[in-house]
Amino acid sequence: MAQDHLAASSPLPEHTRLAAFAGEWDGEEMVFPSRWNAGGPATSHVVARMDLNGFYLIQDAVQMRDGKQSFATHGLFTFDRDDRTYKLFWYDSLGYTPPSPASGGWVGKTLTLVRGSLRGNARHVYEIINEDSYSLKIQFSPDAEGWADVLTGVYRRIH
């Protein structure tokens, strides 16, 4: 009997670990001055869910500043069983299409993902504070050596 090559495998524990970020969250953020904007405080509402048979965390976020939407993101997180790294496919309201996903891994309670493009390098650092809160730091570097904060935030689960 021929094996069904389209049969879904089961998520690995590495996939399941991403569920720590699933849920609905409110965040307090600081946007740092950059070539994209002047910076200042912001709030974000994040909705994330494990989907597609548990292989992906799909995350949508809307940032508000001065009572108006200032930024929005759509992220798709997964674990790549081939190269044994986590991947983040990131799309945002700036409209740039990333040439490749960010890649990285966990050290303790911190997930760090880095990607490069012609515009420079971005680093996303997610740290689990406890089951009801996490922090995020997004940084930029032209050379992947000296990193400058673009955004920092703390997100609390909505019950």
Read off the pLDDT of residues 104-150 as tens digits, 9 standing for 90 and up: 999 999 999 999 877 788 999 999 999 999 999 999 998 878 899 99
The correct CATH number of 13-157 out of 2.40.128.20, 3.10.129.10, 2.170.190.11, 1.20.120.160 is: 2.40.128.20
Domain boundaries, the chain: 13-157
C-alpha distances in Å from residue 99, one per residue of 22, 55, 58, 67, 88: 26, 22, 19, 33, 12
The pTM of the full predicted model, rounded to 2 decimals, is: 0.91
Sign of CA dihedral 145, 108, 84, 104: negative
